[in-house]
Amino acid sequence: MAAERGLAMATCTAPVNIAVIKYWGKRDTDLILPINSSLSVTLHQDQLKTTTTAAASRDFTEDRLWLNGKEADVGHPRVQACLREVRRLARKRRGGGEDTAALSLSYKIHIASENNFPTAAGLASSAAGYACLVSALARLYGLEEELSEVARRGSGSACRSMFGGFVQWQRGERPDGTDSLALQVAPETHWPELRVLVLVVSGEKKPVGSTAGMQTSVETSPLLKHRAEVVVPERLAQMMRHIRDRDFEGFGQLAMRDSNQFHATCLDTFPPIFYLTDVSRHIIALAHRYNAHHGHTKVAYTFDAGPNAVIFALADTVAEFVEVVRRSFPPATNGDQFVRGLPVGSAALSPGLVSAVVTEPVPGAVQYILHTKPGPGPQLVDDPSQHLLGADGLPRSRA
Ligand code: DP6
């Protein structure tokens, strides 16, 4: 936290995560308590991250919020829930009394938040966004405790973005949600060969948001109830073992099955919800043909509440599979920016692989591929030149 003349400021970054055992459904919509535990992989912030600056000053006359440079509604109930919880914890830490040396909790705050990836690409931004908001506020108020419970109040999946590597959000039992927390299962260094390819297929906004969609599923889908009560508890234990053993075959198979079951619960919702598109289904079929050709699980897909595919693979498979995707979905333009993120080597495809796997190419269906890997949790940004707010507490003009 940097403080000068009554202005205090803190900047943090936070990651996106992708669930391999999905969260879908709340038992308490206000506290954001899930009907089942879930498990995710935190993605590296070099490729996907949110940066948030939080500032407090006695000169600010109202709380304000800017998202990607545009002023947004700071009164949003979920933003307010996070703010309230962080301030409550800060007050508790100070033992109720107002410590004159510490930042006054009565000061209004300004918050600016930006993503290093296009929000319109349909990549889960609320998880990184709320994890980052809570991390920056915690730094501002000097909180050091574990705050996944607070991030959960912004967006369920956000609690998992409070840690790096492999993260479980345990459902918890208590009605007040104090045991509905994220826990790190293994750090990002645990499985060095694991890679992630995000296949961005659409810039369109999803038809039904996850918050509304999952509530309809809770109310109408008997499959979701069975999934939460019977399937997920077993799968969670299995997935933890596959991660512990770095068993890609088991990990990949289960990730695909769990994604498919989540989308089956969407179809079982009434009226049904469709997040997968024809292009998503093409990618699913491609992954299965590719694995069948090799005789084992080399790539595994998972899809959240949208059509983009997230593919897991080991490092030695990436170049070949990227080439398969390029041949299956030939880029619309000259293909310059088709592969982004971590470098991808070149691979020559055998004629046997091409004829078995690359059937009926669909030009332009995949916009681009982002190559990334598991990464760490939220980070503090020390360099004051990186603050998104200037000394006047307003967003710095962006280059
Ligand atoms: C399909 O966390 O976005 O991505 O808690 O209502 O904010 P709210 O929902 P959100 O739902 C994420 C659903 C999912 C699966 C997952 O990330 O586990």
DSSP 395: B
Give me the amino acid identity at 115. N
Q: Judge whether residue 247 has pLDDT over 80.
A: yes
DSSP 29: T
Judge if the beta carbon of residue 258 lies within 6 A of ligand 1: no
Q: How far is the CA of 382 from the centre of ligand 1 (A)?
A: 30
Judge if the beta carbon of residue 217 lies within 6 A of ligand 1: no
User: What is the reported pLDDT for 122?
Assistant: 62
Chain-wide mean pLDDT for the chain?
93
Instruction: Confirm if 380 and 54 have CB atoms less than 8 A apart.
Output: no
Instruction: Confirm if 114 and 68 have CB atoms less than 8 A apart.
Output: yes
Q: Which atom in ligand 1 lies closest to the alpha carbon of residue 34?
A: 5
Helix (H, G, I), strand (E, B) or coil at 112: strand
Judge if the beta carbon of residue 32 lies within 6 A of ligand 1: yes
Q: List all residues 6 or more positions away from 284 whose beta carbon is below 8 Å from its beta carbon.
A: 276, 301, 309
Each residue's pLDDT tens digit, 8-31: 999 999 999 999 999 999 999 999
Q: Judge whether residue 129 has pLDDT over 70.
A: yes
User: What is the reported pLDDT for 205?
Assistant: 62
| Ligand 1 probe mutation, 157, 227, 263, 310, most atoms within 8 A of CB | 157
The predicted model gives 347-369 an average pLDDT of 95
Q: How far is the CA of 225 from the centre of ligand 1 (A)?
A: 17
Each residue's pLDDT tens digit, 226-241: 999 999 999 999 999 9
User: What is the reported pLDDT for 1?
Assistant: 52
Instruction: Confirm if 127 and 161 have CB atoms less than 8 A apart.
Output: yes
Judge if the beta carbon of residue 22 lies within 6 A of ligand 1: yes
User: What is the reported pLDDT for 332?
Assistant: 79
Which residues are 72's β-sheet partners?
65
**Lowest-pLDDT range of 177-191, 199-213, 329-343:** 199-213
Q: Judge whether residue 98 has pLDDT over 60.
A: no
Judge if the beta carbon of residue 305 lies within 6 A of ligand 1: yes
DSSP string of 134-183, one letter each residue:
HHHHHHHHT--S--HHHHHTT-GGGGGGGSSSEEEE---S-TT-TT--EE
Each residue's pLDDT tens digit, 254-310: 999 999 999 999 999 999 999 999 999 999 999 999 999 999 999 999 999 999 999
Alpha helices in the chain (DSSP H): 77-93, 126-141, 148-152, 210-220, 222-226, 232-244, 248-268, 278-294, 315-328, 351-357
User: What is the reported pLDDT for 390?
Assistant: 96
User: What is the reported pLDDT for 299?
Assistant: 99
Q: Which pTM was predicted?
A: 0.96
Q: Judge whether residue 119 has pLDDT over 90.
A: no
Distance CA 252, CA 294 (A): 14
Helix (H, G, I), strand (E, B) or coil at 34: strand
- b/e string for 300-337 if b means 16 or more Cβ within 10 A? bbbbbbbbbbbbbbbeebbbbbbbbbbebbebeeeeee
The owner of tokens 């299965």 is 288
Judge if the beta carbon of residue 308 lies within 6 A of ligand 1: no
User: What is the reported pLDDT for 326?
Assistant: 96
User: What is the reported pLDDT for 270?
Assistant: 98
